[in-house]
Copies of this chain bind each other. A is one copy, B any other.
């Protein structure tokens, strides 16, 4: 008969993170550049106190366990207080991406049945517009102080966040919840169809916070000053609001001020050591810093993910600015961290160029996540760095179903020995994995270019274009071809002031890739459309260039 361990029973609760930070790093600073315009200074102890007061206030408003509280907000201390005040008290924090279309926002809030909606001043006009459609929202809370409350608004009974908090005494004990209780809902940024909600639990969130803080992941320490550029409305800012509490780091929130100049100044003023975000944000920051001839004085390390980090960007940050870049891959359904690219001890002896090739990949699975690649018959493919297949994952912080959906997206996979290897989540990404477990995304499965039965990776072609000094951004999409089915079309935005011809661009591919993979044509545009989370909207590009006639056709 099994013997049981004789250990304290301590559920993995989100409240335990903020309590740890308040007790053991109470005076460590939380700095917020707010949409009101000021630079606000707080501490982990204050954030914890205000989270408790918020929990009291939400209870007083009649919200009870399991109800959803929506947010439309930038990165800032009030958003952090909502993270902890809701989840900590048994409510469910539901961050909504304010960059979506108003109709999508309303659809998502209704789908999640949000009972309350908290939003930053920036989004007052937006919420005024959609409020009539929000059929489940009973309380609208403006995340500001009394002085910034609007004189008039069409929103009935608009509540003031700071007033709600100030009215409570904080004599509140975090409840002892079941660790499998829902803590948070994040909707996928899905480029097609309706978005779907991933419902994280306290347990999955705390385990992800552990995984994300590991030295081979984000390596969060109490000596770091961490600025999450990735928004708190995008998969919980990759878990940083939790991992920073877990280690007691100083946190700096940029609010809506995400342009290169504002970010640079905040990095310098608050001595930021570590940041994380999607490639597009770094484009802006790098352009500003290089155009002004500036350097970073404390910024040492960054994690870049959400879409492929172009090797050229990695090189600029590492070689020109001395910032270590850790390329990461993840997705909403993974809370989001899956893999990060860091070398193993055996790679330290490799020549720098070979090390760089590894760092350009999306990297290795951290403990808590397992992954493999499969063919269309759902059989595991070899880890040889060449075989590309559908990437599947499983682990402690991977979803098993979507909010309001009974059916599971998980699929059975046959192991390489032919035996059943359990249920896995199909990511929709196409990838290779090498002998050392380094995964490289070659495409979204729907973006891959199928030319004459062979697959061409759009990401590979984009990375080459991005390395051209005149290119600001590049996208490669499939265009119909009478003979080859599909052929690659390169869409380019040039850098301001730079000039580039079709032929120069195509010549740039010579020697860098097999001839048959070189794009058939180049079109120059002013802008490439992006999703609300900064990914290129290839669906839109494909529509736009559906009738494009290739010279080869």
Interface residues of A (CB under 8 A from B): 1-10, 12, 16-17, 19-20, 23-28, 65-66, 90, 92, 177-178, 180-183, 198-204, 207, 210-211, 213-216, 219-225, 246-250, 273, 342-346, 348, 364-365, 367, 370, 394-403, 410, 425, 435-437
Contacts and interface: CB of A to CB of B under 8 A. Distances in A.
Contact of A6 (B24, B248, B399): B399
Contacts of A25: 344, 437
A151 to B, nearest CB: 38
A221 B403 CA distance: 36
Contacts of A214: 210, 213-215, 247
Contacts of A10: 394-396
Given A247-B367, A345-B224, A1 B65 contact: yes
Contacts of A204: 5, 7
B397 A7 contact: yes
A221 B342 contact: yes
Among A211, A215, A248, A403, chain B packs the most CB atoms within 10 A around the CB of A215
Number of copies: 2
Contacts of A410: 8
Contacts of A201: 4-7
B400 A6 contact: yes
B400 A8 contact: yes
Contacts of A92: 3
A20 B397 contact: no
B66 A248 contact: no
A2 B222 contact: no
Contacts of A395: 8, 10
A28 B213 contact: no
Contacts of A200: 5, 7
A214 B223 CA distance: 13
Nearest to A182: B3
B344 A6 contact: no
Nearest to A26: B437
13 contacts: A3-B66, A4-B180, A4-B182, A5-B201, A5-B204, A6-B199, A8-B395, A10-B396, A24-B364, A24-B437, A28-B345, A215-B215, A223-B344
Q: Chain A interface mostly helix, strand, loop or mixed?
A: loop
Contact of A65 (B2, B220, B396, B399): B2
B7 A203 contact: yes
Contacts of A17: 367
Contacts of A220: 215
A348 B223 contact: yes
A249 B345 contact: yes
Nearest to A16: B367
A222 B348 CA distance: 11
A181 B3 contact: yes
Contacts of A24: 364-365, 437
A397 B345 CA distance: 30
Listed from nearest, the 8 A-B pairs whose CB atoms lie closest are A5-B201, A3-B66, A3-B182, A6-B199, A210-B210, A7-B204, A215-B221, A24-B437
Contacts of A344: 25, 28, 222-223, 248
B7 A399 contact: yes
Contacts of A216: 221-222, 247
A511 to B, nearest CB: 33
A417 to B, nearest CB: 9
Contacts of A23: 370, 437
